[in-house]
Amino acid sequence: MSALTVDARDGSARAGRVVTAHGAFDVPAFMPVGTHGAVRSVHPAELRACGVQVLLCNAYHLALRPGVALIRRAGGLHRFMGWEGPILTDSGGYQLVSLAGVAAVEDDAVTFVSPYDGSRLRVRPEDAVRIQADLGADVVMCLDQPVVWGTADGVAAQATQRTLRWAERCRAAAPGGPHLLFGIAQGGFDTEARRQAAMATSALGFDGLAIGGLSVGEPGEVMLEMAAASLDGMPSDLPRYFMGLGTDAELLAMVAMGVDMFDCVVPTRLARNATALTREGRLALRRAACRDDLRPVEDGCGCLCCRDFSRAYLRHLFAAGDILAHRLVTIHNLTHLQRLMEGARDAIRRRDFAAYREGVGSRLGNEERIAQTTPVN
C-alpha cells in the first residue's frame, strides 16, 4: 500500500497526504531543514504554529555529533529534539558536494573527514540506511552521489551508475517496520540519462522517490528540463521529492509538474542574513529605508514576527547583533513558505492552480522569477 493518498489533481499537480509512523503530512509540503536536530533558534511548538508538519534532519551530521548511540539512549531522534511529527533524514549524499574536499568516494563506500574533530567516518549504503533507522527517522533516504553543474559527462555518468548500485544495496538492507525508504534518481544534466535513472530506481520498489542532483548551480531552464525528464521515469502512485529547493517560483513550478515534497535552507539562511520572504519578493531588513518603517514585515501575516514587531525594530535588532532578529525572521519565512504550500493545496482542490501560480509569480521580484513555462512530463 502506498504511503501517498492523492485526493485532488489539477493537471499534473496533486494534493494529498503522506502517512508515516509519526503521523501524516499534507502535500505539497515544504520541509524546514534542521540539520543538527533543530531548526535554528525556533522551538518545535513554534514550528507547529508556523504550519510545519514535517522536518528534515541530516543523518551524516547527527552520526558525527552527538552520535547515534546517544540519540538512541535518549529514546530516538523525535524525543531527543522534542518534535513529535514526521522526520525525514538525508543520508549524507549531498555532503559529497558541499564537503567535496573532505569526502572520498569509492564503489563500496564513502569516507568522510569530520569537520568537527578530523576523525574519519566510513559509510556504506547499508550503513546509511542503518544509521537513519537507528535514529528513528520516518523517511529514510538512500545514499547517493550527486554532481554539480559543469561536471564532465563521463564523471556524471559514473556517479549515476554508482548511485543506482547503491540504491540496490540500500533496498536490500531496507529496515522495514515503520520506516519508509526513498530512492534517489540522479542522471547528471542529460535528459535521457535522467529518464533512464528514474526508471531504474523506480523498478527497485521504494516507498517514495526523490529527484537528486539539481539546484546545484545549473540555469533555471536546465533544472526544469532535467526535473521533467526524471518525472517521466517515476510512477504517479508514490511520493515524489525534489531535494534542495526553496524559492516561491521554483516550488510552484515543481508542484505544477507533480512533485510533492521539498526542502531547503533558504528560509533560515535568508533570515540569518536579515532577509524576509514576502508575497512581493525579498525584503532586505538592513536597508536604510527600514530604519523608521513601523509596518510589519508583511501586512496581513499573522505570524509571531508580524503580529508584534515592526521592520524598524527588526532592523535595530540586526544592527545590535541580537539573535532575536534571526529567530523572528526565521519564524516569518517559515510561515511564508507553509502558507505558499497551503495555498497550492487549496488551489489544486479548486482546480485553479495555474491562476494561483501566475498570481504568485506576478508579484515576485525579478531575482526570484524563473521561466513560467513548465515542461510537460
Domain ranges of the chain: 4-264, 271-359
Domain 4-264 has CATH 3.20.20.105: yes
Give 354's contacts (C-beta < 8 A, 6+ positions apart): 10, 11, 256
Helix, strand, coil percentages in the chain from 3-state DSSP, rounded to 5 = 45, 20, 40
SS3 89: strand
**Confidence at residue 217, expressed as pLDDT on a 0 to 100 scale:** 93
Q: What does the alpha-carbon distance between residue 230 and residue 197 come to, in Å, rounded to a whole number?
A: 8
Q: Are strands 110-113 and 120-123 parallel, antiparallel or unpaired?
A: antiparallel
Place of cell 492523492: 6
Cell of 152: 564532465
Q: What does the alpha-carbon distance between residue 351 and residue 84 come to, in Å, rounded to a whole number?
A: 33
Q: Is 367 exposed, middle or buried (0-12, 13-18, 19+ CB in 10 A)?
A: exposed
In the residue annotation, 263 being an active-site residue is answered as yes
Dihedral of CA 248/219/163/93: which sign? negative
Q: What Cα–Cα distance (Å) separates residue 80 from each residue in 37, 88, 91, 148, 350? A: 8, 15, 19, 34, 40
185 contacts 201 by C-beta, under 8 angstroms: yes
Catalytic residue selected from 10, 144, 248, 263: 263
**Confidence at residue 374, expressed as pLDDT on a 0 to 100 scale:** 41
Q: What does the alpha-carbon distance between residue 361 and residue 259 come to, in Å, rounded to a whole number?
A: 18
The amino acid sitting at 244 is G
Q: What does the alpha-carbon distance between residue 114 and residue 99 come to, in Å, rounded to a whole number?
A: 10
The alpha carbon torsion through 246, 230, 124, 100 (nearest 10 deg) reads: -50
Q: What Cα–Cα distance (Å) separates residue 40 from each residue in 35, 132, 291? A: 9, 21, 26
DSSP letters for 136-203? T-SEEEPP-----TT--HHHHHHHHHHHHHHHHHHHHT---TT-EEEEEE--TT-HHHHHHHHHHHHT
Nearest CA to 253 out of 280, 228, 235 is that of: 228
Q: What does the alpha-carbon distance between residue 81 and residue 71 come to, in Å, rounded to a whole number?
A: 9
Give all strands of the β-sheet with 4-10 in edge-to-edge order: 4-10, 13-20, 23-27
- Residue 296: asked if its preceding bond is cis (omega within 30°), the reply is no
Task: Using the CB atoms, write b or e for 90-114: b if 16+ within 10 Å.
Answer: bbbbbbbbeeeeebeeeeebbebeb
Beta-carbon neighbour count of residue 196 at 10 Å?
18
Give ∠ CA 346-56-283 in degrees, rounded to 5. Answer: 65
**Confidence at residue 93, expressed as pLDDT on a 0 to 100 scale:** 83
In the residue annotation, 144 being an active-site residue is answered as no
Q: What does the alpha-carbon distance between residue 304 and residue 5 come to, in Å, rounded to a whole number?
A: 32
Give the DSSP letter of residue 231.
H
Q: What does the alpha-carbon distance between residue 160 and residue 242 come to, in Å, rounded to a whole number?
A: 17
Catalytic residue selected from 10, 90, 138, 293: 90
**pTM for the model:** 0.95
Residuewise pLDDT in 10s, the chain (377 residues): 789 999 999 999 999 999 999 999 999 999 999 999 999 999 999 999 999 999 999 999 999 999 999 999 999 999 999 999 999 999 988 888 877 777 889 999 999 888 888 888 899 999 999 999 999 999 999 999 999 999 999 999 999 999 999 999 999 999 889 999 999 999 999 999 999 999 999 999 999 999 999 999 999 999 999 999 999 999 999 999 999 999 999 999 999 999 999 999 999 999 999 999 999 999 999 999 999 999 999 999 999 999 999 999 999 999 999 999 999 999 999 999 999 999 999 999 999 999 999 999 998 865 454 444 444 33
**Confidence at residue 365, expressed as pLDDT on a 0 to 100 scale:** 63
